[in-house]
Chains A and B, each alone.
Chain A
Amino acid sequence: MTRPLTHLQRLEAESIHILREVAANFAKPVMLYSIGKDSSVMLHLALKAFAPARPPFPFLHIDSNWKFAEMIAFRDRMARELGFDLIVHKNAEGVRQGVGPFTHGSSTHTHLMKTVALREALDQHGFDAAFGGARRDEEKSRAKERIFSFRKAGHSWDPKNQRPEMWKIYNTRVASGETIRVFPLSNWTELDIWQYILQEDIPIVPLYFARRRPVVARDGMLLMKDDERMQLRDGEQLEQRMVRFRTLGCYPLTAAVESEADTLEAIVAEMLVARTSERHGRMIDHDESGSMEKKKREGYF
């Protein structure tokens, strides 16, 4: 009993506190659900924070139309089994125009199908607070962001003028049209996430586990051919390789890593010797050093 709280207990307590703070202060909060491991942890924390009640807010998935099929199947299964209120939003205009990473490039695709789609969904439903699963250890501009990150009307972020965030006292006051993005996992590291998934036995998309999958090597990345929309280029060959994903997004923009790790224990073990950061597999971050900050200022999560 007198042992100090474990690191995961402290992180869990902080996150739960943040989740409740939003529920207590905002009229219409929403949780962004991206189906990835961080979202799975955030969902688990939300269930834990409000038990025996259900989380008092809906879950929003911004479907870029290019997610792995297994992600969509997992999303629908979770919503059914856990019975949470799921909203799926696509940029309808983008879908009509056939926007995609292969034809429009990664930055146009991401802007229209993720950033714009997110702004549409938030405006359409009038959400005044939105949870995101971003962590400060992911990327340098994330390391600078507050847990309660204020957005002006129009969703823009002003990184040079953030509200001071003292102790666990969060300023949740917004004027009409303004919103707050909330990051309950700010202080978690990738390793903490995996350890917690292991400890709490949290279900995650099978793509995180190594399996033989059809991949092609392109631009220094291993890409998985998830459906027929991906065309092989001259000289490219589809190979079955033992791979897994450290992070999940649009399949044409998410690189696989070769791995034998097919259990959670093996994934944690692999983490311990990993020498590249997880966002390395994210092509949208690579354009230039400040690219995440730029996207965030425009309203990306």
Chain B
Amino acid sequence: MGDNSPKNAPHAQSPEKARHAQSDSAAAQGVGAFIAEQEQKSLLRFITCGSVDDGKSTLIGRLLLDTQLILEDQMAALASDSSRHGTTGEDMDLALLVDGLEAEREQGITIDVAYRFFATGTRKFIVADTPGHEQYTRNMATGASTAELAIVLVDARKGVLTQTRRHSFIASLLGVRHVILAINKFDLVDFDRTVFDRIVADYLSFAGTLGFDSISPVPISARFGDNVIARSGNTPWYDGPTVLERLETVPVGDRLEAMPLRFPVQYVNRPNLDFRGYCGTLAAGNLSPGDRVRVARSGKTTSIDRIILGDDDLTAARAGQSVTLTLADELDISRGDMLVAPDAPPELADQFEANLVWFDEHALLPGRQYILRTEADQLPATVTTLKHKVDVNSFTHEAARSLDLNEVGVVNLSLQTAIPFDPYGTNRSTGGFILIDRLTNATVGAGMITHALWRAANVHWQALDVSKTARAEMKHQKPAVIWFTGLSGSGKSTIANLLEKRLHAEGRHTYILDGDNVRHGLNRDLGFTEEDRVENIRRIGEVARLMVDAGLIVLVSFISPFRAERRMARDLLNEGEFVELFVDTPFEECARRDPKGLYAKALKGEIRNFTGVDSPYEAPESPDLHLRTMDKQVSALVDDIHAWLRQKGYIA
């Protein structure tokens, strides 16, 4: 054999060459088809996690090996490494394919996340192999932050461990949607079904509440390949998918494309005075030239002029694409601003609540200032309150004064200026942030925003000796806000007016805040843009709250068409102090009455954004009081309210 070979070099052997030449011509014709096929493939990013020694790296090695991603020279290196560092005796140690750092190979553990790439006929995969040791949890979080699926490994002999719970919890917190529960080393428990059933039940008992879209348990042996790629003959009792089958079929979604536009401005490209482009990656939605967009912070709107990528002008761009935009108007926009859908803007707040994972040896301290960084912005931030931390084993909440390395907690944050955001559950790109230590520049934490807070919840209170209760007792009433919502012309003011007369006659201490009247004074600087409407309602809510504090029964008469606005007002008050009263008069009747002539104008298009005409009215889903005005006279309606207030103890 060797006699005819020209030289004994790996690349110089003629059989090797002949094989190449042959497949070259065959494959060259197929290249076009191959590339077309590659383009159709979807992408799944997933992580492997679980406790130390559960076999994460071995499983990935097995996936790479069995999908033929390990090349000849890498196999040769593996064989030599296995004899040096291997933990599997005579066999090749598949984990060494993945554990790339010297320290990892020496200690036989995974320290940092490793990214590996493989593909099958239908899908491409980026897998992050994450460390199992608790001390490297931050590296596990790094991998999970971009993953859609987690393979949680469990050693069949050991069952669910603390790290299994911790990693499952962190994965759910970071928005991983699917879990494959890979119960490994089944060869060591004789492929016993009862072991499988017990561990699955154990896992589901806590992971069932973590909000995953799916959890698929699979009994495997990563070392020998059982149920990794192919069905195993050793587990006739298992009829579910193999690990690879599940990886290939789990739904991956471009659901972001269907959501309202979010375009964080990353970089302003201004080579000369004639060109000003805004560079960024669409975090959600899509765009075409001519589309109206709004600058989230300033509320100014304009339209898209061009969408540029390299030398091309695009006719459209969608979530995930990095493009450069030019706008029809010259606006003051810089890095950190966000261009958004005008009719569905993100929230804008300088205080919010977030889940926080802590990465640093120096504990998180409430009150200390950090740098908060989002995808395209950074600004000083302070954790004002550590509401609680979460015990990763029992998932119970514990009071805490600081958050230590690898701990998870719920915090309130206060920023120097407001930022646009979406809740993390809606969009990872616009709802996540990191915290950076001002001195060391270390990345000390990662946060997931849950919702905005309103200032009242955070400003420190001056303690006063005469309390709300004392003031209310003197008036012999239980103070409350009775919030009248309903269409323009539905009768809110009329009913409120009559109710106040009645209460006043009884010696109650009351006040009416009328939406229209307030706009003449306190809120006369506000218009009807979305921000202004929110500010309008915030001020009315605040004033009402002060009056409740003073012990009054406050009647607020205000269209307040949006549920979110009414909830905002409700949130300013304590439980039981906010009574939502729905004045339910059909649109046709309101338009017929039209006491101020506004419907006529709105229907002719002379007034824009008129509730019920070209702006929606979101009726309360479960108001405290529901008044159907078509059935009764005003006085009868007032009787009903009065009876209800008495029954609920607001008035004696």
A13 to B254 CA separation, bound complex (whole angstroms): 15
Residue among B275, B308, B322 making CB contact with A20, cutoff 8 Å: B322
Chain A residues, Cβ within 8 Å of B335: 24
A262 to B320 CA separation, bound complex (whole angstroms): 35
Interface pair A163/B443, CB less than 8 Å apart: yes
A45 to chain B minimum Cβ distance, whole angstroms, is 9
Closest to A257 in B: B11
Interface pair A290/B105, CB less than 8 Å apart: yes
B21 at the interface (CB under 8 A from A): yes
B109 to chain A minimum Cβ distance, whole angstroms, is 12
A130 at the interface (CB under 8 A from B): no
Known pairs A164-B138, A275-B71; A293 contacts B100 (CB<8 A): yes
Residue among A8, A24, A160, A168 making CB contact with B39, cutoff 8 Å: A8
B84 to chain A minimum Cβ distance, whole angstroms, is 8
B96 to chain A minimum Cβ distance, whole angstroms, is 9
13 pairs across A/B with beta carbons < 8 Å?
A: A5-B254, A51-B311, A137-B117, A160-B101, A164-B446, A168-B375, A171-B443, A220-B8, A222-B11, A273-B19, A275-B72, A276-B71, A277-B73
Residue among A14, A53, A270 making CB contact with B269, cutoff 8 Å: A53
- Chain A: residues with Cβ within 8 Å of the partner, total of 81
Residue among B124, B267, B373 making CB contact with A7, cutoff 8 Å: B124
Interface pair B20/A159, CB less than 8 Å apart: no
Given contacts A48-B309, A52-B308, A159-B112, 17 further A-B contacts (CB under 8 A): A7-B39, A10-B320, A13-B281, A24-B266, A50-B279, A51-B310, A136-B114, A140-B101, A143-B116, A144-B114, A160-B112, A167-B375, A220-B10, A256-B11, A260-B24, A269-B28, A276-B73
B298 at the interface (CB under 8 A from A): no
A289 at the interface (CB under 8 A from B): yes
B640 to chain A minimum Cβ distance, whole angstroms, is 52
* 9 A-B pairs with the lowest CB-CB distances in the bound complex, closest first: A140-B100, A53-B271, A269-B27, A48-B310, A16-B322, A173-B441, A13-B322, A290-B102, A6-B39
A1 to chain B minimum Cβ distance, whole angstroms, is 6
A139 to B115 CA separation, bound complex (whole angstroms): 11
A101 to chain B minimum Cβ distance, whole angstroms, is 19
Per-position 1/0 for B566-583, Cβ under 8 A of A? 000000000000000000
B459 at the interface (CB under 8 A from A): no
Interface residues of A in 186-243 (CB under 8 A from B): 186-187, 189, 195, 198-199, 217, 220-222
Interface residues of B in 269-287 (CB under 8 A from A): 269-271, 275, 277, 279-281
B128 to chain A minimum Cβ distance, whole angstroms, is 10
A24 to B264 CA separation, bound complex (whole angstroms): 13
Known pairs A269-B28, A273-B27; A47 contacts B310 (CB<8 A): yes
Chain B residues, Cβ within 8 Å of A21: 266-267
Chain B residues, Cβ within 8 Å of A174: 441
Interface residues of B in 13-44 (CB under 8 A from A): 16-17, 19-21, 23-24, 27-28, 30-32, 34-35, 38-39, 41-43
A76 at the interface (CB under 8 A from B): no
Interface residues of B in 305-352 (CB under 8 A from A): 308-311, 316, 318, 320-322, 324, 335
Chain B residues, Cβ within 8 Å of A48: 309-310
B81 at the interface (CB under 8 A from A): yes
A167 to B433 CA separation, bound complex (whole angstroms): 9
Q: Which residues of B contact A (CB under 8 A)?
A: 7-12, 16-17, 19-21, 23-24, 27-28, 30-32, 34-35, 38-39, 41-43, 71-74, 77, 80-81, 97-103, 105, 111-117, 124, 126, 138-139, 141-142, 145-146, 254, 266-267, 269-271, 275, 277, 279-281, 308-311, 316, 318, 320-322, 324, 335, 359, 371, 373-376, 428-429, 432-434, 436, 441-443, 446
**Which of A169, A256, A257 gathers the greatest number of chain B CB atoms within 10 Å?**
A169
B638 to chain A minimum Cβ distance, whole angstroms, is 55
A291 to B139 CA separation, bound complex (whole angstroms): 23
Known pairs A17-B266, A166-B142, A221-B9; A173 contacts B281 (CB<8 A): no
Interface pair B254/A4, CB less than 8 Å apart: yes
Interface pair A20/B24, CB less than 8 Å apart: no
Interface pair A198/B35, CB less than 8 Å apart: yes
**Which of B35, B42, B74 gathers the greatest number of chain A CB atoms within 10 Å?**
B35
B371 to chain A minimum Cβ distance, whole angstroms, is 7
Interface pair A5/B321, CB less than 8 Å apart: yes
Closest to B29 in A: A269
A107 at the interface (CB under 8 A from B): no
Known pairs A13-B320, A167-B145, A293-B100; A189 contacts B115 (CB<8 A): no
A256 to B73 CA separation, bound complex (whole angstroms): 16
Interface pair A220/B9, CB less than 8 Å apart: yes
